[in-house]
Amino acid sequence: MHTRLDALDTLFCRYKVLVFRNQSLSTEELLRFGARWGTLIRHPMHAGLEAFPEIIELSNRGKAKDVNQHWHSDMTYNAAPPKLTMLYALEVPEVGGDTAFANQALAFESLSEGMRGVLSGLQAVHSAAGLARIYGEDPNKAPRAEHPVIRTHDQTGERALFVCRAFTERFVGWTREESGPLLEYLWQHSVRPEFQGRQQWQRGDLVMWDNRSLLHFAVHDHADEPRVIHRLQVEGETPH
């Protein structure tokens, strides 16, 4: 029998982002909704709320720059990055503070057959060294993982480009110098404007996105206007 969750999952796999407007969820309700999609996982570097460690509070208070102001897919430096991330908006600026998304299935489809062939045989090293530097931790101890450069979605079979400027360091078996030019091309290609969409936040929005086939970027264009968002993540498969 199909449940409402199955119906939502079908929409989720098709559209990659679901937006539920005008929610008034307690933290427990947010956690319960998240847990219906799978096992909630903690972030290895951001501490969660004391009472709810799976929930991270993202707040720009006192910060000149959003730490997530870079194109990334969440936690690709883990062997099994989350399949989805949810954000719930508690406080939003009057203007700005969008989350931008870039569709990596479209990015893959629009590459030439020759380039797809080259990339299909490659794996890349992803690392949290950059994040470690931001948090004043030792980048040499930051988590690292290797993943295919072209990833196959475990539910739909759709293929997507799977590299990001924030975390992908080099191709496996290639030096950083050798990897740099091709990675630079892919980073630029992956966020072409025609692959992008934006979430323009309203208070009470609950947004979930498919971390297997999207990149995202927190746009910090709202200066000191408060933006407070709760975030959780659901465990994913090892990419293949």
User: How many other C-beta atoms are found inside a 10 Å radius of the C-beta of residue 13?
Assistant: 15
Q: How big is the site for ligand SIN, counted in residues (CB under 6 A)?
A: 9
End-to-end CA distance of the chain: 29
CB of 113 to ligand SIN, least distance (A): 33
CB of 85 to ligand SIN, least distance (A): 6
Does residue 190 contact residue 105 with C-beta atoms inside 8 Å?
Answer: no
CB of 138 to ligand SIN, least distance (A): 23
Does residue number 207 form part of the binding site for ligand SIN (CB under 6 A)? Answer: no
CB of 90 to ligand SIN, least distance (A): 12
Q: What character string, x for contact with ligand SIN (CB under 6 A) and - otherwise, covers 87-106?
A: ------------x-------
Binder to ligand SIN among 126, 165, 170, 216 (CB under 6 A)? 216
CB of 69 to ligand SIN, least distance (A): 9
All residues at 6 or more sequence positions from 16 whose CB lies less than 8 Å from its CB, including other chains: 101, 103, 105, 209, 210, 213, 214
Distances from the Cα of 17 to the Cα of 49, 150, 157, 197, angstroms? 25, 20, 18, 10
Binder to ligand SIN among 119, 191, 218, 232 (CB under 6 A)? 218
CB of 85 or CB of 103, closer to ligand SIN: 85
| CA of residue 158 relative to chain centroid, distance | 17
Does residue 54 contact residue 31 with C-beta atoms inside 8 Å?
Answer: yes
Does residue 160 contact residue 107 with C-beta atoms inside 8 Å?
Answer: yes
At 222, list the tokens: 């709202």
Binder to ligand SIN among 73, 85, 104, 179 (CB under 6 A)? 85
CB of 27 or CB of 123, closer to ligand SIN: 27
Does residue number 147 form part of the binding site for ligand SIN (CB under 6 A)? Answer: no
Does residue 65 contact residue 220 with C-beta atoms inside 8 Å?
Answer: yes
The residue written with tokens 């020759």 in the block is: 114
Does residue number 229 form part of the binding site for ligand SIN (CB under 6 A)? Answer: yes
Does residue number 161 form part of the binding site for ligand SIN (CB under 6 A)? Answer: no
How far is residue 198's CA from residue 100's CA, in Å, rounded to a whole number? Answer: 4
Per CB under 6 A, contacts with ligand SIN among 41-80 are 58, 68, 74
Residues that bind ligand SIN (CB under 6 A): 58, 68, 74, 85, 99, 216, 218, 229, 231
